[in-house]
Amino acid sequence: MKNYKHIFITAVSALALSWAGVSIADSSASKNTAQSTSAIKVQWKDFDDYRDVRAATEPKGTFHKRVKKSFDKFFNDYGKELPEGQTLSIEIKDLDLAGHVQMSGTRDFRVMRDIDFPRMEFSYTLTGADGNVIKQGEAKIKDMNYLYHEKSWKRYREGFYYEKRMFREWYEDTLGKN
């Protein structure tokens, strides 16, 4: 009877894992059928070293984690735009978020003015599926007209819209034809 309980519990566990999207298949089989995928790999510095990644309404550490998580998700999603097998490695050297944190009594807030435009500095290397470098360089991007663009991009409601749109435009101008 103990054996039947163990088998039943294992079967129920496997069913629950499959509903959650977790595969319990043999890992050696998945190694043989693995395909090369495209990706953007990002290396961050200490956020305190960047020009302006200042929190306005939340603790600094929490804000930095939120910025990193938001950009990492963006880069992960955008990496799928690369041709199959290509990898874009980026080292973020400087980041200046759109706007400026203004102190007002007991509460700080980020004010968007045209003189506080977003900027990003990074080095990048684009490699092919064979590991050979396709393109590499340094980029210093900024969007001095960030407040005057139409907000028609589907990611408008996500955080850090101006910075992500600025990167997307750089990507399409610099790497979009690869």
- State residue 97's pLDDT score: 94
Question: Residue type at 71?
Answer: F
Residue 12: is its pLDDT beyond 90?
no
Total domains in the fold of the chain: 2
Q: Are residues 123 and 57 in the same domain?
A: yes
Which residue, among 153, 159, 158, 144, has the nearest Cα to 57 in the 3D structure?
159
Q: 157: burial class by Cβ within 10 Å (0-12, 13-18, 19+)?
A: exposed
Global pTM reads 0.72
State the virtual CA torsion across 115, 68, 53, 170 in degrees, nearest 10.
-30
Q: Are residues 29 and 41 in the same domain?
A: no
- State residue 56's pLDDT score: 84
Q: Are residues 127 and 62 in the same domain?
A: yes
Task: Summarize pLDDT for 97-127 with one digit per residue, the tens.
Answer: 998 888 877 778 888 888 899 999 999 999 9
* Residues spanned by the domain of 25: 1-34
Rg of the chain, C-alpha, whole Å:
22
Report, as an integer, the average pLDDT of 91-98. Answer: 95
Using DSSP's 3-state secondary structure scheme, residue 136 falls into strand
Average pLDDT value over all residues in the chain: 78
Task: Summarize pLDDT for 121-177 with one digit per residue, the tens.
Answer: 999 999 999 999 999 999 999 999 888 877 665 555 678 888 998 999 999 999 875
Q: Are residues 29 and 69 in the same domain?
A: no
Q: Are residues 124 and 70 in the same domain?
A: yes
- 6: pLDDT confidence band, cut at 50, 70 and 90? very low
Q: Are residues 127 and 161 in the same domain?
A: yes
Task: Summarize pLDDT for 19-53 with one digit per residue, the tens.
Answer: 334 333 333 333 333 444 779 999 999 999 999 98
- Per-residue 3-state assignment (H helix, E strand, C coil) for 46-106: CHHHCCECCCCCCCHHHHHHHHHHHHHHHHHHHHHHCCCCCEEEEEEEEEECCCEEEEECC
